[in-house]
Structure 1
């Protein structure tokens, strides 16, 4: 990997490990719908003008049906569910639970007709991942409420299935353009619920407002642009390795900055889940067509 590739890789590993910390800080004083609205508004304000200036908005809108499905599964639904769940769950636990996405994605691909063989190494990785999450929940069960867990389970399903829409129905749509449209649509959807609360939100502590600002500008707009630059630099499969490091970053930041406890479940489950992710998403030697430029798994926290 080139030096530029490594810089982009390390930047993305950090940038997409941070949102769980910021969401936790924001939802302490702001309603989840306000956090999602603010994040999307800022991201759309930065990415949509770029998309229009590059002439990529109209081609994206021609595929509005799959783009709308992608929006619901990748942003509109998951981001509100994560914000809701983090009112109860710690940021470190949330980040680690979402590490189940690679396993769900492998299963979704298999069920939808993906001919890629699940060899013994990948099956071992999936087994380790399930075991790690089971250890995590089993050892920390007294601290876990069922509804937030259900919310994160729905997030995992959305993050796992949305990429199938991108690869099969939106291969010719720019990733940044698709993200700009998705952010704009999500902003519009939540505006009627968030705008009446903005007066109250304006009186929230500065750390909550700053968290939303960083979440929208850095962890959404900048992160999406960097992610697609990373894909162009190292290819989609190598780019996805950031998925393995994001949970570790989320756990570390939660423990160091939010004084979240490093529980036995986190200590035991984290390395097992990360190892399982590495093995489960490992590419096997297959007789299949080369991956297209659009074949990208987009998992945005």
Structure 2
């Protein structure tokens, strides 16, 4: 049965909150890497997020099911957090924050390609196939812009790192859907954050060679508290309010927030390639993910896998 419930005022508020909370990580990362090493950023944000979510996970008894499947929880944490968070920090030492946020938004394109390799032929339907072509055309226009190509090999490597992040974010939900489908999302996320944080803590200490600035420290706290702990709790509330089909739709607004913050706060340049490629990427992602319409609603007992958090 299709999900035809009207979106309530609370639902719209949660949409707006999520669009901001997962649109601002790129600004915070850009500010944090100014004086904090990428590994230290990963350790700080994940440990902060884990500490805040742990009491809630314990209260809801969400940890025991996650611990029972700890190898897959660790695999999820490695692909959803450990690799992407480090790559984003390293890439934003070179790339503008707004561009990073937009490139991460290509997750639905890679998810569609992965679905094809898993035998999902629905991705080859005209609307979704057109979405793949349109989306990757937008990426090519952005990456081929003179402002980036003039940046030399370093810029191209950073772009590759962000696109690899998008691939990781596309793979991670398949792990949840196939191996962790009976584990509460809160337990998976909390345990993953704690494991990633503890893994990166010694690396972060060894790679941090200067005293962080106030702006970098505040940005790191914002990443851990707002963009990780609060964002995941708001996401769970959004799923409960509007259902698992509509909940991820805010991700199409995230790049707008990332680009706007980069231009307004950091003074980042809004290139012609970005202006042309941006709507193509968003349109392509939407078509590739949905075929231009809402899909049938999943069973009510299914939880939506976590989406890209940045």
Cα offset for 1:195? 2.8
- CA–CA distance in structure 1, aligned partners of residues 254 and 17 of structure 2: 11
Cα offset for 1:20? 0.3
Cα offset for 1:288? 10
User: What CA deviation, in whole Å up to 9, does each residue of 1:17-41 have, x standing for no partner?
Assistant: 0000000000011111111111011
User: Is 1:25 paired with 2:34?
Assistant: no
For 2:302, the equivalent position in structure 1 comes to: 293
For 1:270, the equivalent position in structure 2 comes to: 278
- The within-5 A match list for 1:3-82 is 3-82=9-88
Runs of 4+ off more than 4 Å: 283-292
Select the residue among 225, 242, 250 that pairs with 2:233: 225
Select the residue among 256, 276, 297 that pairs with 1:248: 256
Select the residue among 139, 152, 173 that pairs with 2:162: 152
Structure 1 segments unaligned to the other structure (5+ residues):
none
For 1:213, the equivalent position in structure 2 comes to: 221
Do the aligned residues in 2 keep the contact of 1:66 with 1:165 (CA within 8 Å)?
yes
In structure 2, do the counterparts of structure 1 residues 23 and 114 end up closer, same or farther at CA, with 3 Å as the change threshold? same
- CA–CA distance in structure 2, aligned partners of residues 50 and 297 of structure 1: 17
SS in 2 for 1:237: coil
Do the aligned residues in 1 keep the contact of 2:131 with 2:288 (CA within 8 Å)?
yes
In structure 2, do the counterparts of structure 1 residues 115 and 272 end up closer, same or farther at CA, with 3 Å as the change threshold? closer
- CA–CA distance in structure 2, aligned partners of residues 286 and 85 of structure 1: 34
Do the aligned residues in 1 keep the contact of 2:74 with 2:192 (CA within 8 Å)?
yes
For 1:83, the equivalent position in structure 2 comes to: 89
User: What CA deviation, in whole Å up to 9, does each residue of 1:123-174 have, x standing for no partner?
Assistant: 1111110111111011142236222122112211110000001111111211
- CA–CA distance in structure 2, aligned partners of residues 292 and 164 of structure 1: 17
- CA–CA distance in structure 2, aligned partners of residues 285 and 245 of structure 1: 17
SS in 2 for 1:230: helix
Cα offset for 1:225? 0.8
User: Is 1:169 paired with 2:179?
Assistant: yes
Computed over aligned residues only, the root mean square deviation of the Cα atoms, in angstroms, reads 2.0
- The within-5 A match list for 1:177-216 is 177-196=187-206, 200=209, 203-216=211-224
For 1:238, the equivalent position in structure 2 comes to: 246
Do the aligned residues in 2 keep the contact of 1:90 with 1:260 (CA within 8 Å)?
yes
In structure 2, do the counterparts of structure 1 residues 165 and 270 end up closer, same or farther at CA, with 3 Å as the change threshold? same
TM-score, scaled relative to structure 2: 0.91
Structure 2 segments unaligned to the other structure (5+ residues):
1-6
Do the aligned residues in 2 keep the contact of 1:71 with 1:186 (CA within 8 Å)?
yes
Select the residue among 240, 260, 265 that pairs with 2:268: 260
In structure 2, do the counterparts of structure 1 residues 30 and 2 end up closer, same or farther at CA, with 3 Å as the change threshold? same
- CA–CA distance in structure 2, aligned partners of residues 18 and 212 of structure 1: 12
